[in-house]
């Protein structure tokens, strides 16, 4: 190849490469809206998370295991939920996995299939997405990416990422948006939603989450409204406004609880008919995840009650 031809070749290649790079940046900056099909039958819209049953689940990372109660491996959870409650949708918590090696993940995938169940969300542990230390923020992104990859293998359409922060570090919309924006881009590339839940009263305040989601502007970063968590602050009006704000950005899952018991023993009752009214007005079409959290009571009885209350509300009987 002559020198002039070589120069022309590399010039064309550089221009072509720049064009691809620009196209990639544009696709990441403006990802397509996720397309998810949800069932319309009321019972088919119900799901159950492993959190209420944490005392029963054997896993190395489950510090809530109560050895005085019978144990189960997470692989047994989907079948138990299908048999006991007639529900085929589940959320599994990362801390309840006995292992994350390929053999265990495959066994878990087969257990879901044998139960006729679907994994509709993966619940992840908290990470520091606005830590002043850049290496900690990077570690948070990598943690989320690893579980997004596992969501792909297990067929989950989403992960729920909890938000932590170092002691004394206040929530930072700018840093959180930068870091969670990167995780959302990764999720978009894998067609996996990244959900943020209003859980902790400070680091996961619903209005903080909404600010982050709106600043990121990626349709793969969504809200996961919990109907009761923000009520732990004792302000029912604030909880209602927070849930309403979250619902505007929700896509796949809402967490349902009828009672909130705080660490200091205070109990607050959730106005479930009102919460479902907000969800219906928002046009929410996703799954209603049973997350009974009524303190020292029986999670089986609590979940059965939640299922009955939810079916009543979403079937329209509560407003007739």
Average pLDDT for residues 50-59, to the nearest whole number? 97
DSSP string, 203-235: TT-HHHHHHHHHHH--TTEEEE-BSSGGGGGS-
Residue 35's pLDDT is what? 82
- Model confidence at 247, pLDDT cuts 50, 70, 90, reads very high
Average pLDDT for residues 275-292, to the nearest whole number? 97
Q: Which two tokens stand for residue 215?
A: 């600043």
Rounded CA gap, 36 and 106, in Å? 24
Span 93-128, pLDDT tens digits: 999 999 999 999 999 999 999 999 999 999 999 999
Q: What is the pTM of this model?
A: 0.88
Span 59-79, pLDDT tens digits: 999 999 999 999 999 999 999
What topology is assigned to 43-319 in CATH? TIM Barrel (3.20.20)
Rounded CA gap, 309 and 270, in Å? 12
The alpha carbon dihedral of 75, 77, 82, 83 has a sign of: positive
């Amino acid at each position: 190849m002559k020198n002039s031809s070589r120069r022309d070749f590399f010039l064309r290649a550089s221009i072509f490469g720049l064009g691809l790079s620009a196209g990639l940046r544009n696709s990441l900056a403006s990802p397509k809206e996720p397309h998810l099909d949800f069932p319309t039958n009321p019972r088919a819209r119900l799901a159950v998370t492993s959190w209420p049953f944490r005392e029963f689940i054997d896993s190395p990372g489950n510090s809530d295991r109560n050895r005085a109660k019978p144990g189960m491996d997470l692989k047994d959870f989907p079948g138990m939920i299908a048999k006991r409650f007639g529900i085929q949708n589940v959320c599994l918590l990362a801390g309840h996995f006995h292992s994350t090696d390929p053999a265990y993940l495959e066994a878990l995938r087969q257990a879901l299939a044998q139960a006729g169940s679907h994994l509709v969300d993966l619940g992840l542990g908290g990470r520091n997405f606005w830590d002043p230390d850049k290496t900690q923020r990077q570690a948070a992104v990598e943690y989320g990416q690893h579980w997004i990859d596992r969501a792909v293998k297990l067929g989950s359409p989403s992960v729920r990422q909890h938000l932590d922060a170092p002691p004394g570090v206040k929530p930072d919309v700018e840093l959180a948006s930068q870091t969670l924006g990167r995780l959302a881009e990764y999720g978009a590339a894998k067609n996996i939603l990244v959900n943020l839940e209003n859980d902790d009263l400070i680091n996961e305040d619903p209005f903080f989450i909404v600010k982050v989601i709106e600043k990121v502007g990626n349709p793969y970063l969504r809200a996961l409204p919990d109907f009761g968590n923000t009520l732990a602050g004792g302000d029912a009006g604030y909880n209602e406004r927070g849930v309403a704000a979250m619902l505007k950005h929700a896509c796949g899952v809402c967490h349902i609880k009828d009672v909130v018991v705080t660490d200091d023993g205070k109990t607050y009752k959730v106005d479930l008919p009102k919460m479902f009214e907000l969800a219906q007005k928002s046009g929410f079409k996703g799954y209603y995840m049973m997350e009974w959290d009524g303190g020292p009571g029986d999670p089986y009885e609590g979940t059965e009650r939640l299922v009955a209350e939810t079916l009543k509300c979403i079937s329209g009987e509560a407003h007739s």
